[in-house]
């Protein structure tokens, strides 16, 4: 592996800023630059004062370039102007903008692109999760990394389905109302059910794992730290709790947390990440509370958390490796996880 | 029906103050008095200034009587002194105190007693829900009304099991962190899984509905208004969504709320109760969000809310009627609901 892939990130928000930073940590990748259109506080922080200040900053549009320059940013040019030197763009722009970027920027310039979970499903032929279907992205030009909740479900369902077999799964999602920075969102004191049963998460998982029998129900609650899933799975084989615990333990990007160790809530797991001095207290793993894992008459139950801001970061990195044929699945996952530990 | 049952309430907290008030509304019951041991703010409000100011106030213990008198309450005497004239006591005291009351107060004085969901299961031979097992309490001396979450589950499962049949049920409970008055409780910004799967709610439902195959998983979240349940039920017969909607519609103490009508969250349902000028904005019904009701391949899904402070109020009233043989199930439920509407 001597090729160093040149990758740009378009859209420096919750996902984009994390993926850009993760690219900087990969031995086989180079951050070609970051692009945006708006002089947000987070762009100012990461691009002017923070960890991305050495990366070239581009205007994602001509107008965006002017906006950033007028706001005092040091802008190297337009994103389009450097696409010839870029192997791949990670697009983390809002829904709708991503589609426009694909049609007006990436396809005409023949550059590969990764899109995020918020994008329309038809933006890319492959919906991606590194654990579940890495090979489906090999050599592809456009890939969509599925959303945070779907990523957690795909990781865990793939582990179970590959080694034990899943007859049927139901996940009840307790979604965080907003991210920490989203101070305009609610609820403050309410619980909001999502109308549709199944919620969009079940069909999204099935985009990655066709044929998986899964249903999802969801509510939104007043918390910012994490989503929480309560899951029940009818298993295809008769296994005991210890077998499942061992399986989860051995699955990449799945972590077990025990209340006995002091990690018995979303806030306590996050406090662990802060104490480990993880950047932004990110935790890329689907975090399962060990005490909640139970098997009863062939049905497996557990409760797990999903750090909504960061769980898809490693999958973006692996998607790039698959699309650029830089490594096989196990090697990519291992390389990514080592770089982000 | 000419007999008027004389009923006292011991423990004027969240449940006791509501049941005492509900007793005042029953044509066939008389509130013999209320009893407590501590000069709390809520006792001061309801007993001195509020709707229970005409009910005699008793000290639940000799020491409690002194405490209340020293705090300026007008105390009529000790609870024990009037038990000869009382047919039944609704005990809404804390766990442990209830058991002591049973042994030292109710049994020696040969007075019937109703206990609450927080009590130990062996405090009474019958665990009660008015919809599910009214007749089990007929003539009994001690009955435990199950807790708020269990009451909702028992109502809904009984409706389904009686008319469609339940093969298996799983309920994922999103529990409110604390009641509005419990300002010492959390979490503020976290989600706390309950260790045990099943949580205590499933076996509690089975105390009322033996043989029901049900599992419960639970988390606590930062909200005060209501519990929320995400439920999936394998049905024994093949029915469509409309059949289930009709069934829920026809079930006492189950109410359907639609987002189309503007009631698409816990807070919006509560706002409706405030606008209807319901006392304390109580809603005794298990509130199902209509849009979430779905049937897929023989499995029924829905999301419902449980007003944790008030849902057991009518069941306490019906338990009293059953124990005192004042009415049969349908008559009691109808009478209670009319009085509380």
Would you call B194 an interface residue with chain A, using a CB distance cutoff of 8 Å?
Answer: yes
Do B215 and A296 meet the contact criterion of CB atoms below 8 Å apart?
A: yes
Q: Is B169 helix (H, G, I), strand (E, B) or coil?
A: strand
- Assess whether A148 carries a catalytic annotation: yes
**Which pLDDT band holds residue B1 (cuts at 50, 70, 90)?**
very low
Query: Distance (Å, rounded) from C-alpha B256 to C-alpha B263?
Result: 10
Would you call A258 an interface residue with chain B, using a CB distance cutoff of 8 Å?
Answer: no
Structure tokens at B174: 């999103």
Check residue A262 and report its DSSP letter: T
From residue B259, give the alpha-carbon distance in Å to each of A69, A205, B268, B293. 45, 27, 9, 12
**Which pLDDT band holds residue B2 (cuts at 50, 70, 90)?**
low
CB contact burial A293-312 (16+ within 10 A = b; e otherwise): bbbeeebbbbbbbbbbbbbb
Query: Distance (Å, rounded) from C-alpha A317 to C-alpha A151?
Result: 14
Q: pLDDT tens per residue, chain A (341 residues)? A: 456 999 999 999 999 999 999 999 999 999 999 999 999 999 999 999 999 999 999 999 999 999 999 999 999 999 999 999 999 999 999 999 999 999 999 999 999 999 999 999 999 999 999 999 999 999 999 999 999 999 999 999 999 999 999 999 999 999 999 999 999 999 999 999 998 999 999 999 999 999 999 999 999 999 999 999 999 999 999 999 999 999 999 999 999 999 999 999 999 999 999 999 999 999 999 999 999 999 999 999 999 999 999 999 999 999 999 999 999 999 999 999 999 98
Would you call A178 an interface residue with chain B, using a CB distance cutoff of 8 Å?
Answer: no
Would you call B260 an interface residue with chain A, using a CB distance cutoff of 8 Å?
Answer: no
Question: How high is the pLDDT of residue A268?
Answer: 97
Contacts with B210 (C-beta within 8 Å, 6 or more apart), sequence order: none
Closest CA to B34 of B61, B16, B14, B15: B16
ipTM over 0.85 threshold: yes
Closest CA to A171 of A153, A151, A192, A146: A153
How close does chain A come to B269, measured CA to CA in Å?
10
pLDDT in tens, A278-325: 999 999 999 999 999 999 999 999 999 999 999 999 999 999 999 999
pTM for the model: 0.93
Query: Distance (Å, rounded) from C-alpha B326 to C-alpha B93?
Result: 25
CB-CB neighbours of A146 under 10 Å: 26
The pair phi, psi for residue B148, each rounded to 5°, is -60, -50
Q: Nearest Cβ partner of A292 from B193, B299, B301?
A: B193
Query: Distance (Å, rounded) from C-alpha B197 to C-alpha B157?
Result: 19
Please judge whether A225 and B267 are an interchain contact, meaning their C-beta atoms are less than 8 angstroms apart. Answer: no
Residues of A within 8 A of B289 (CB-CB) are: 193, 195
Instruction: Report the residue count for chain B.
Output: 341
Residues of A within 8 A of B291 (CB-CB) are: 193, 195-196
pLDDT in tens, B241-258: 999 999 999 999 999 999
Please report where in the chains the tokens 């041991």 appear, as a residue. B37
**Among A32, A148, A157, A270, the one annotated catalytic:** A148
Q: What is the largest CA-CA distance in chain A?
A: 65
Q: If you measure CA to CA, which chain B residue comes closest to A218?
A: B230
Would you call B296 an interface residue with chain A, using a CB distance cutoff of 8 Å?
Answer: yes
Residues of B within 8 A of A192 (CB-CB) are: 264-266
Query: Distance (Å, rounded) from C-alpha B86 to C-alpha B32?
Result: 7
Q: Rounded to 5 degrees, what angle do the CA atoms B315, B317, B323 make?
A: 95
């Amino acid at each position: 592996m001597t090729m160093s892939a040149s990758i740009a990130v378009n859209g420096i928000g919750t996902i984009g800023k994390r993926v850009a930073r993760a690219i900087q940590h990969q031995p086989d990748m180079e951050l070609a630059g970051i692009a945006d259109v708006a002089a947000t506080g987070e762009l100012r922080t990461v691009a002017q004062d923070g960890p991305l200040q050495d990366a070239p900053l581009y205007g994602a549009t001509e107008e965006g370039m002017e906006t950033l320059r007028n706001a005092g940013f040091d802008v190297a040019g337009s994103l389009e102007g450097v696409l010839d030197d870029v192997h791949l763009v990670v697009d983390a722009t809002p829904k709708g903008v991503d589609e426009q970027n694909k049609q007006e920027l990436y396809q005409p310039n023949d550059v590969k692109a990764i899109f995020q979970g918020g994008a329309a499903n038809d933006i890319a032929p492959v919906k991606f999760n590194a654990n579940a279907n890495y090979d489906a992205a090999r050599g592809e030009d456009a890939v969509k990394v599925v959303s945070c909740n779907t990523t957690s479900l795909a990781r865990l369902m793939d582990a179970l389905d590959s080694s034990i077999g899943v007859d049927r799964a139901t996940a009840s999602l307790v979604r965080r109302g907003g991210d920490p920075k989203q101070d305009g969102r609610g609820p403050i004191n309410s619980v909001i059910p999502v109308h549709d049963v199944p919620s969009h998460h079940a069909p999204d998982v099935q985009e990655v794992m066709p044929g998986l029998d899964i249903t999802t129900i969801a509510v939104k609650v007043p918390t910012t730290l994490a989503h929480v899933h309560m899951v029940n799975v009818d298993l295809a084989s008769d296994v005991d709790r210890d077998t499942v615990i061992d399986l989860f333990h051995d699955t990449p990007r799945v972590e077990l947390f025990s209340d006995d160790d002091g990690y018995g809530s979303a806030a306590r797991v996050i406090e662990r990440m802060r104490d480990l001095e993880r950047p932004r207290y990110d935790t890329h793993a689907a975090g399962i509370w060990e005490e909640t894992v139970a098997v009863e008459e062939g049905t497996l139950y557990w409760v797990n958390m999903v750090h909504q801001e960061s769980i898809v970061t490693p999958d973006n990195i692996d998607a790039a490796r698959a699309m650029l044929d830089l490594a096989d699945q196990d090697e990519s996952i291992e390389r990514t996880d080592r770089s982000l530990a």
